[in-house]
Amino acid sequence: MTRDLTQRSHKILRNLRQILDDVLYDEHARRAFANNAFDGALTFLGILMGNLVLPEFQPSAVIKIGLSTCLAIGMSGGFGRYLSERAERKRFLKQMGRDMLTDLSDTSLGRASVQKIISISLIDGLSPAVAALIPLAPFFLAEFSIISISVSIVASIVFVGIVLFALGIFLGKISEENALIYGGVTVIVGFVTSVIILLASIYFR
């Protein structure tokens, strides 16, 4: 029992290490992480701005909609990427196999391809969900009256800004350009987006 648990723990750690390596060193994984995390943060920002114009702001409503959205974008991103990535990599392996007159599915290359499919799919699914869950956290505290609703709103907006700024820093490091400028640009994009959503919500209320 202990040995089985240890083996499972090692396997989980290896998978997490593989995901981290992919985010840092794999072009497709980096793009998936950045794009989907950005989508997740801005999607939640849209939910928040839409709720701000309601006659009565309820943290429970934001939590329900936010969790539903996190689940939806996570499942959509993960499974959608899995299907598309699997199709592309299967096609590549089959073409290479035909050129080499052999089946590559049960080789180290084939197994590495499967591992890469799973890793990128997890990144694609988890990144938008986590990016949306972080700014959602203050509303759980407001729901249990640990902090006020106004504080939870401000904290949530700040968390969105932190997520966007961190993504900008990440992209700036990758491009080997000024990371602070990248961070500032992503925050500005988020701010402009929130203003547009808020104005649209007021107009169509």
Query: pLDDT digits over 82-131, tens only?
Result: 888 788 777 877 787 776 767 666 676 667 777 778 888 888 888 888 89
- pTM score of the predicted model: 0.79
Residue 172 included in any domain: yes
Residue 101's domain comprises 2-15+34-203
Residue 140 has pLDDT above 60, yes or no: yes
Residue 83 included in any domain: yes
Both tokens of residue 9? 């723990």
Residue 48 included in any domain: yes
| pLDDT digits 0-9 by tens, 30-85 | 777 888 888 899 999 989 988 888 888 899 999 999 999 888 888 888 888 888 87
Residue 27 included in any domain: no
Our count of domains for the chain comes to 1
Q: What is the DSSP string of 10-35?
A: HHHHHHHHHHHHHHHH-HHHHHHHHH
Residue 88 included in any domain: yes
Residue 20 included in any domain: no
State residue 116 phi and psi, 5-degree precision. Answer: -65, -40
CA 164 remoteness from chain centre: 12
Q: How many CB atoms lie under 10 A from the CB of residue 56? A: 6
Residue 26 included in any domain: no
Residue 94 included in any domain: yes
